[in-house]
Amino acid sequence: MLQLSRSRVRFSLVILVLVVITGCAGLDPARIPPIDTAGTQPMPGKVIWHDLLTEDPAAARRFYGDLFGWQFRRVDMGLGQNYTVIEHNGRVIGGLVDGRRINRDVNVSRWIPVLSVAEIAVAIAETEEAGGTVFQAPLDIPQRGTVAVIADPQGAVLTLFESRDGDPADRFPERGDWLWNEIWTSDPDASLAFYRALVPAYEIDDADDARGGTYRYLSAGGVPRVGVLPNPVTDIADTWMAYVRVPDPAATAAAAEALGGEILLSAQRDSRGGEIAILKDPTGAGFLVQSWEPDPQHTDAR
């Protein structure tokens, strides 16, 4: 769903998440390669990155590498710290963080989105006022911007990022790329209200689906950014969920299961178009796959 930058720099803005979550705020910023945001502007409301927090990095690398053809590259951050970037077809699309250093008593494996905000101090104030949780107060990263980690009032975890220069430009999602993001919530109305306050650029929109229902989502600047729907899986706490574009969700689900993953929902026709399946990787992180063919008149990011 995103491209980190238009240069050959292959590194994540969300190396910051590693700094924040693992408490390694002393990493040498001189070792963080510069990110070219020339010609871009901040895009509040856009999910600009995804980090996989995992209990078993080796298993995660094997699983996603075999399933989607993703490649993994470790980057030395100095002070004995490493971060793994995820690449697809030569482009950086995400990052991997070893979750074993956080809490060995609880499986923390999950995909964590990074959401662009205009003013992180305002976003933190809105989070606290609404009853959310601030895990990491805003942390300034030289030459990057400001980052914080929160949970919304329903408990869904995400990272906030206020860019100093600009956000990655929208790009067309290829097969194996991030396609879409949703918030699965026990209280959709409350979630919509919270994120609308968190990102004032958001507008609440809806679309009719093939079953006669209504799908609600948040858009910014006329671009759909995040879906919001009642949590459809009873044993999953409220969470953000990310979609990967694939040509055949049934085949992808079967392959995922053969690789040690779990099928939470078998491939089925989606009321908004194409087919979807809900999967869990061998370490416990959930995600979705969807087949999707764009309107030939609209080739921008979904």
**pLDDT tens, residue order, the chain (302 aa):** 222 232 222 234 344 444 444 444 444 544 444 444 545 788 999 999 899 999 999 999 999 999 999 999 887 665 556 678 899 998 888 889 888 776 556 778 999 999 999 999 999 999 999 999 999 889 887 767 898 999 999 999 999 999 888 888 888 899 999 999 999 999 999 999 999 999 999 999 998 776 667 899 999 999 999 999 999 887 788 999 999 999 999 999 999 999 999 999 999 998 777 899 999 999 999 999 999 886 544 444 44
Same domain, 228 and 251: yes
Q: Where does a domain end: 100, 130, 163? A: 163
Quote the strand ranges of the chain, DSSP E.
47-54, 71-78, 81-88, 91-98, 110-116, 133-141, 145-151, 157-163, 178-185, 202-208, 214-220, 223-230, 239-245, 262-269, 275-280, 286-290
Please report the sign of the dihedral spanned by the C-alpha atoms of residue 96, residue 65, residue 170, residue 269.
negative
CATH of the domain at 103: 3.10.180.10
Same domain for 273 and 187, yes or no, is yes
> Is residue 302 in some structural domain?
no
pLDDT at 295: 58
Record the tokens describing residue 141, joined without a space. 């990263």
Decide if 108 is inside a domain: yes
285 assigned to some structural domain? yes
Q: Based on the fold, state whether residues 52 and 80 are members of the same structural domain.
A: yes
If asked whether residues 155 and 26 sit together in one domain, one would say yes
pLDDT score, position 298: 42
Final residue of a structural domain among 128, 163, 198 = 163
- The answer as to whether 4 is a domain residue is no
| 268 and 194 in a common domain | yes
Q: Are residues 29 and 138 in the same domain?
A: yes
Q: Which domain holds residue 66?
A: 15-163
- Asked whether residue 141 falls in the same domain as residue 277, the answer is no
Same domain for 195 and 78, yes or no, is no
At 113, phi and psi to the nearest 5? -80, 155
Q: Encode burial over 75-99: b for 16+ CB neighbours within 10 A, e otherwise.
A: bebeeebebbbbebeeebbbbbbbb
Cα–Cα distance between 28 and 244 in angstroms, integer?
A: 33
Residues 138 and 224 in one domain: no
- pTM of this prediction? 0.85
Of 163, 196, 221, which one is at a domain's C-terminal end?
163
User: Is 7 domain-assigned?
Assistant: no
d(CA 282, CA 286): 10
Does a structural domain hold residue 220?
Answer: yes
Task: For strands 91-98 and 47-54, give the pairing.
Answer: parallel
Q: Does residue 55 lie in a domain region? A: yes
Domain tally for the chain?
2
Q: Both 191 and 282 in a single domain?
A: yes
Residue 29 shares a structural domain with residue 157: yes
pLDDT confidence of residue 3: 27
The answer to the question of residue 146 being in a domain is yes
